[in-house]
Structure 1
């Protein structure tokens, strides 16, 4: 097998600036002199190949007219180029939104074609009323150049979308931490306003006046009903007076059940379906969070979704959330199922009765409930289709909207190519632009050439390296600082692709793929934490250090990843704590080699699969001491020690469970070494 190739950060090479050794003005022998500041200039005037060897530099036998050029023409060309560049710069500046303030907001609205009403308030100050189509308006009071508040109103808003949306719009108009007011632009506000405008325009009269807002409200109502039902079941199995029971139940549903729907979550306007959270067992409680068991009646309105109810919003480095934002896009109704405006995507009972005729047999055998999904009728539009519009006319019932649902992934998810293709095909989506990209190139080394695109190579394994500082707790309870050097080996044939968006026609389709999405969300997050270099501003946070924590020799940690189907498989190998990992002299090395074999213990090794819902299945390990299961024969039947088997299973499960809790390969490796040493 070929030697693995280490990945290195190769800086981009820039061509040096060449200049001719000749003077800037070289008199020619012809009637007109030409100036060539560099060989690049020759390429500009005479093509990519230069002037050629047979062409005299003096141009004595060929005047400017022979080339079809003249001095005045060249001067005009220079002026035209400068003019084009200046116009490009002006166009770029015009495209950027202005600064936050009355004039900037009015200018932005004019550029977007929005009608703005300006009202003068008693005692000074003004109120800008932005009329966003036929379904929304936004009021912005301004006094002495300061934005006082923002009020977003949506027609028939019974779920509080406008209330939480107002907070996001107000935050987008306020300076970021460390930013001065003079540098605060309308860029973030413009992004949010553009989303509201896009929804309104997709539901414009030309589309039959379909309401994208009402479609979102209906999907949210059904998903919220499902979430509350599953959260209630999760709370029911918890012990009484469990601390932070409500948050723990929510995270259980988020990561193992049907996900958690949220309106306008984490500064993102719209409906998000959150389906995975890093280190969900770690809850950093805020001082203002109410300490309730969560088993009482909970409010379903927007006031219950305050920032204090979601501590992960304040701690994204610890609890990164993976979600899908449900939006809309143009799509011919004759080619893809259009949106339906309804809040009846699921029955009031949520689950099917055990004796239902359409009960899922597999779930019934596994004692799992079957969700009672409903199929709302199509949403027909009575308006006639505009000329040239591609729509499906159905007799006198009307036509269907040329708009479809689409889920956008935040962050985008790197998945095996075969898994992603199968997922897209199940949603009747064509797979295009398939390239031999890899997990390493897409997820871990996005700024380097992808190893899968390097042409024909005999190498079948790719190696990447990194170094991290890990804080762990020693056997004396004190913090210890370790430096881990990681090596990751990945087959180059494990091709991957990034999933950024996915159209759908029924929310059931999103719920059904959540177990698969969680497999790769966990794998992405786990390996990126160890192998993806953090931004410079976050380096200090990603590499914790403590002046009082003792340092230890560098520890080599080897990992191998098989990313293809049926499940990601990880193997971690690191030295046993009783083995010598560094030698201060040749004598120490020789003594180690000549020592009795009983003093050498094999490296610690764990192999596990990341199965559906990111459940970790340990396939092989030498950390937990597993006792042999005693079997015998009793009355002619085989007698199996069920208790012993259960105890062994719990020990092995604990090895994988520790990785699920910490969500960090370095911390997990330190814990495995302590367990292997019997500390």
Structure 2
């Protein structure tokens, strides 16, 4: 509604007046000059002339009063004032951005006002930022520069004058590191990583790290600048940036702290590998097999910059570890590792990191072990000579007070770094609740005691239509296709597997663990291997291969070419009758009881999973112990070793059945 201005200098200029129901409505019940008097949004002609915003441009925006539309405005229909338009929520464009709900009129004694809802605005902006963070960008010169600046590193471009191919270098620098990336016509040709002020234990690994970063930035045959993403490079660059930002100059080099742990554990691994070579059962074995045995049964294998990932990894388990030769460039075996990193020290109870490469004595063994340690060594192995390095101290910035009394108000020579070591489980490991408590207690780490998931629920998550109630005993059924090798021919047999969980046990997923000494990690490895092996056997037997019905197969065959390929890939079935396999699981201590039809009777075998993933047969009726001929027949120990090799209950059942024909 537009009302013409009245007065001595009457004008035909139309000014918008809000409706009566708005906070700007007039009231005749108060004196004109009282605090509660009427307030009109209509300015006087004198004020209008003096105002820098006239009818054509109000606050720098066109009011829309020209062209025969006196009441139209860029701030909303009928409002020449942005305040009035915002108060009534009529600003165009806010609804398209999803921000119109952020502006709400605020009633008050002055008749109204506008204030943005800051909490809601921050929440929505944070949601946008979280979405943008997941996208690391595509491979390009500006994309890499933006990524480096996003993680807090400095960038400088250096052009090479007179070089062919438009070559230039992006220098990404931190406080302790420098990364040079050479481009030629927007293609990465070379990557060089350096640590100018670091010790030799850090710089000796830079070539390997640079090769990984170069592979992250190279195009594969099926990639182009439109499809090549920076996700892998971003993950490695963020690891470098995190260590760089946590370091303090002078006094704390996080790159050197991690390299020091590697040096100590590498000496230990070499010593253990040399002792294994001296054993009779390792005669004739390859170096790869012996190193893998040390990795899976001793103190693990430390590796710097491996599997396209920068940093220190302590490998402690690997699938198919019993095979003489495993893996290839195309089929790399799955490896379980502890990834050592640094993190900010929280406010409660954790030990700051120490920078040292002397975590274990040069002789590896303890010089004068105590009687109790010797008794434990008879069961668990030699007594290692772990050392306790001195604490790393940072220079304090507080000035010394010469007037303070000696020994009372004396300031310390330095302060502890606010950084700690962290081990990340790769992949995360599912363990029973009791073992999770032991692991966290050994490292003085905080544990989430409110997690109430069961061990089998974490290992085999229930679907949305599951009828099992939480805390009740579960039954997991799965149909698998098991390969059979008979007389040099390969065939397939269907197994109907059923897993019974009689005793409900709660579990936890180990994903991250703070620690202060590498000894803490080494001592927990035997128990971690127990459940790494157990999860492998259960996943292979109940979660790896799911049976597909004929109707599902038909729906998946879209073309004649796919039908022909499926026909050519079929293998004759060795036995039309499917094999029924029942398995009972106990989590602490871990054991598996296997029942299946065997010849004219029912086989019943119980396996105990020991530390370091060793399998021991506790009960069995497959072999006749009285008729065993030593050296010519299968033994009970062989039954356990066969499961260690196959890592699959179905393959074990078929293999043992074939051997005992």
- Normalising by the smaller structure, the TM-score range is 0.7 to 0.9
**2:273 and 2:418 mapped to 1: Cα distance?**
36
**Aligned counterpart, 2:27:** none
Unaligned runs of 5+ in 1: 1-30, 33-69, 286-310, 387-392, 579-600, 630-643
**1:99 and 1:489 mapped to 2: Cα distance?**
48
Q: How does 1:442-453 map to 2 (within 5 A)?
A: 442-445=458-461
Aligned length: 524
**2:641 and 2:453 mapped to 1: Cα distance?**
32
**Aligned counterpart, 1:570:** 592
Name the structure, 1 or 2, with higher relative contact order (CA <8 Å, separation 6+).
1
Q: How does 1:237-386 map to 2 (within 5 A)?
A: 237-238=279-280, 242-243=284-285, 245-284=286-325, 311=327, 314-316=330-332, 319-332=333-346, 335-353=349-367, 356-357=369-370, 360-366=373-379, 368-384=381-397
Q: In the TM superposition, what is the alpha-carbon distance from 1:451 to its structure 2 partner?
A: 8.5
Q: In the TM superposition, what is the alpha-carbon distance from 1:366 to its structure 2 partner?
A: 4.1
Q: In the TM superposition, what is the alpha-carbon distance from 1:188 to its structure 2 partner?
A: 1.8
Determine which of 418, 441, 454 is the counterpart of 1:425. 441
Quick check: which has more Rg, 1 or 2? 2
- SS for the counterpart of 2:150 is helix
Q: How does 1:475-486 map to 2 (within 5 A)?
A: 476-486=487-497
**Aligned counterpart, 1:170:** 214
**Aligned counterpart, 1:7:** none
**Are 2:542 and 1:501 aligned?**
no
**Aligned counterpart, 1:663:** 647
**2:132 and 2:350 mapped to 1: Cα distance?**
39
**Aligned counterpart, 1:111:** 150
- SS for the counterpart of 1:150 is strand
Question: 1:383/1:652 Cα in 2 relative to 1: closer, same or farther (>3 Å)?
Answer: same
**Are 2:410 and 1:398 aligned?**
no
The one-character-per-residue Cα deviations of 1:312-370 (angstroms, maximum 9, x if unpaired) are 67533xx21110000111115873211111110011111135x6447712244349321
TM-score, normalised via structure 2 length: 0.72
**2:633 and 2:380 mapped to 1: Cα distance?**
21
Q: In the TM superposition, what is the alpha-carbon distance from 1:449 to its structure 2 partner?
A: 8.0
Q: In the TM superposition, what is the alpha-carbon distance from 1:490 to its structure 2 partner?
A: 1.1
- SS for the counterpart of 2:136 is coil
Contact kept? 1:465, 1:531, Cα under 8 Å: yes
**2:284 and 2:215 mapped to 1: Cα distance?**
35
**1:513 and 1:183 mapped to 2: Cα distance?**
43
**Aligned counterpart, 1:560:** 584
Q: In the TM superposition, what is the alpha-carbon distance from 1:653 to its structure 2 partner?
A: 0.6
Q: In the TM superposition, what is the alpha-carbon distance from 1:126 to its structure 2 partner?
A: 3.1
Contact kept? 2:433, 2:507, Cα under 8 Å: yes
**Aligned counterpart, 1:25:** none
Q: In the TM superposition, what is the alpha-carbon distance from 1:436 to its structure 2 partner?
A: 2.3
The one-character-per-residue Cα deviations of 1:127-151 (angstroms, maximum 9, x if unpaired) are 4343432211111111111111211
**1:465 and 1:176 mapped to 2: Cα distance?**
41
Contact kept? 2:492, 2:571, Cα under 8 Å: no
Question: 1:267/1:489 Cα in 2 relative to 1: closer, same or farther (>3 Å)?
Answer: same
The one-character-per-residue Cα deviations of 1:268-326 (angstroms, maximum 9, x if unpaired) are 210000111111122546xxxxxxxxxxxxxxxxxxxxxxxxx567533xx21110000
Q: In the TM superposition, what is the alpha-carbon distance from 1:153 to its structure 2 partner?
A: 1.1
**1:416 and 1:605 mapped to 2: Cα distance?**
26
TM-score, normalised via structure 1 length: 0.70
- SS for the counterpart of 2:451 is coil
